[in-house]
Amino acid sequence: MAVKLDQSHCCRRNNKSSVLRPGRILIVCLLVLIGLRLFVLLPVRVVSESMLPTLRVGDILLADITCYGLRFPFFHTSILNTGSPQRGDIVLFAYPLDKRQVYLKRVIGLPGDVVVLKDHSLFVNGRQVIVQPPGIRDRAALHSRKHFTWQGEERLGDKVHAVMFDGDGSACKETRRFKVPAGVYFVLGDNRDHSVDSRTWGFVPNENLIGRPFVILFSWDANRHRVEWARTGMKIH
């Protein structure tokens, strides 16, 4: 028996499918982006000078929030341990005195370490962390304060990063010793003389860790009112 196909009906159905297909793709893309935002990646904006010269006010960073454990979104409740910070890592964490605030600092001391600070010298487990090159003075263009600073490179293990110090003799001359207990970390800002960190409010508990920033997504120079294209896409050390 011969059958006559209703071609107009088939065309209408195909047209409807072709219209719905882009909508489905868009929904899937949105779900993937939401999943990445909730469980994998977190954008962060730098709002203080405490991490100069590494990070500047106006930098927007992308942080990996899976590197120190999988957590429920919004509650920071740990589901699975996936790793621990290493010396030299820049970490994103909930401020121990007010977990509604999020801070960025560099890990200097791991659990069990002894950290000693004297003037501009840093010692970890009895070994001095040497800053190279020492004594080079420069009026830091990145710094809003009108005094001399000097910059150098500090090495923690196999990690090398920039640090900044005052050059006007205002640094604390007192020797301070910190024994890092289990389950916490000792952190400092790279702008050592203008950072409120573990020297002031204590250690960062492991459960406060949120993630590790790894790239500068975007950088805005508020003084010059322009995009810092040279910093956009830079890997964070």
Active site residues: 50, 105
**Alpha carbons within 13 A on the beta-carbon side of 220:** 7
Whether omega before 53 lies within 30 degrees of 0, making that bond cis, reads yes
Q: Are strands 127-129 and 137-138 parallel, antiparallel or unpaired?
A: unpaired
User: Which residue in the block uniquely carries the two structure tokens 């621990």?
Assistant: 84
DSSP code, position 160: E
Q: Are strands 204-205 and 226-227 parallel, antiparallel or unpaired?
A: unpaired
Measure the CA–CA gap between 218 and 191, rounded to whole angstroms. 21
**Alpha carbons within 13 A on the beta-carbon side of 55:** 33
Task: Please give the structure tokens belonging to residue 232.
Answer: 């956009």
The three-state DSSP-derived secondary structure of 129-154 is: ECEECCCCEECCCCCCCCCCEEEEEE
